[in-house]
Amino acid sequence: MSQQYLNEKNFAVVTGEADIAAQFSALDWDKLVFTGGSETGKKVLSAAAPNLTPVVLELGGKNPAVVLPDANKQMTAAKIARSRSGNSGQICLDTDYVLLPTDQLDEYVRLITAQLAQAFPTYINNSEYSAIINDRSYDRILGMLTEARQRGTRLITINPNNELVPDVKRRLIPLTLAINPDRDLQIARNEIFGPILSIFTYDSLDEAIAFINSHEKPLAMYLFGRSSRHLNQIISQTSSGGVDINELSLHAGSHSMGFGGVGYSGMGRYKGGKTGFETFSNQKSVYKQGVLAKYTTRLMVPIHNKRNEKLLKRMLGL
């Protein structure tokens, strides 16, 4: 179908598994763009290195949402709950974990649970709720939950209709809140990329910032609150690919700002107007000499005398 409209030399789609991707990454491209997980991104970068192929990586990471004490609770809970349940949490920009003031934990748990019960009163045969992409991912997510449960983590499964989920046949896993999981658990260390939302509590903003900085740099960070001083403190003392204030993910759709990660969450920018154009362009400089050509040639010849030296320094601005 694509050949009917586009020349295959300009645009082509190649499908395949990891072996095809490995061969593709090792080809001598002018530029290579990869979107996916951080560990796979390392392999892509390694495959491109022998050809010195420049690589743009848009990866993921543990994207935090920091909720300040003065945040609008109803709005914040609605945005976080509905965003995390979209595509069952299988979006690289999703909130991976939330940092909440300790004394507001119970209220936010109640609000998030209510929001999800309203959005997804049922999971079975619900076309609005996404299945996990494949069996491997399904088993990985269940493994995270099993490990957390065995370690005594407080898990809140949001299942308002008391259905028989998780459902292995349909690969359905309801959104589960994990409250203050131990730091060495998979859900606390690794990107979840699934319907689990870890919630950690903090007693001071410095504590929350230190927690964020104890992880690899995320693709996105979401801040909810009104205090400009506190918002600016978090932004200035942490590093992330992008930041949304009182919103989720919209910075990635901006046509005026470049979107991408930093460190473990990626490198380079290829979305966003001028930024995207420059990413796929080579700034090749071309200089054409005019009437001074015969004079500059004489100056470049290694005849060392004071007159030539003086002229050359003048031309070079020395």
Say yes or no: 195 and 239 in one domain. Answer: yes
* Co-location of 192 and 99 in the same domain: yes
At 305 the pLDDT is 67
Higher pLDDT, 64 or 290: 64
Rounded CA separation 224/4 (Å)? 49
pLDDT at position 7 is 84
pLDDT of residue 298: 60
Residue numbers of the domain that contains 23: 2-59+270-279
Residues 314 and 184 reside in one and the same domain: no
pLDDT tier for residue 141 given thresholds of 50, 70 and 90: very high
Residues 133 and 119 in one domain: yes
Among all residues, which ones are annotated catalytic? 58, 92
pLDDT at 1 exceeding the cut of 60: no
pLDDT at 8 over 90: no
219 and 145 share one domain: yes
Could you tell me if residue 263 is inside a domain? no
* 42 and 178 assigned to the same domain: no
Residue 211 lies in a domain: yes
pLDDT per position as a tens digit, 225-264: 999 999 999 999 999 999 999 999 888 877 777 888 999 9
Q: Is the pLDDT of residue 155 over 80?
A: yes
Which among 24, 59, 54, 61 has a CA at the least distance from the CA of 41? 59
The per-residue pLDDT for range 109-122, each reduced to its tens digit, is 999 999 999 999 99
| Per-chain mean pLDDT for the chain | 91
Per the domain annotation, does 7 fall within a domain?
Answer: yes
Averaged pLDDT, 30-45: 91
Q: Are residues 233 and 151 in the same domain?
A: yes
Q: Is 150 found in the same domain as 122?
A: yes
Mean pLDDT of 267-284: 86
Higher pLDDT, 306 or 208: 208
C-alpha dist (Å) from residue 296 to 187, 211, 299, 302, 317: 66, 60, 5, 12, 15
Q: Name the E strands within the chain.
A: 32-35, 55-58, 64-67, 97-101, 154-157, 176-179, 196-202, 221-224, 243-245, 266-267
pLDDT higher than 90, residue 4? no
* Higher per-residue confidence, 253 vs 196: 196
Residue range 284-304, pLDDT digits in tens = 999 888 777 766 666 566 556
Q: What is the pLDDT of residue 23?
A: 92
- 66-75, 85-94, 139-148: the lowest-pLDDT one: 85-94
Residue 2 has pLDDT above 60, yes or no: no
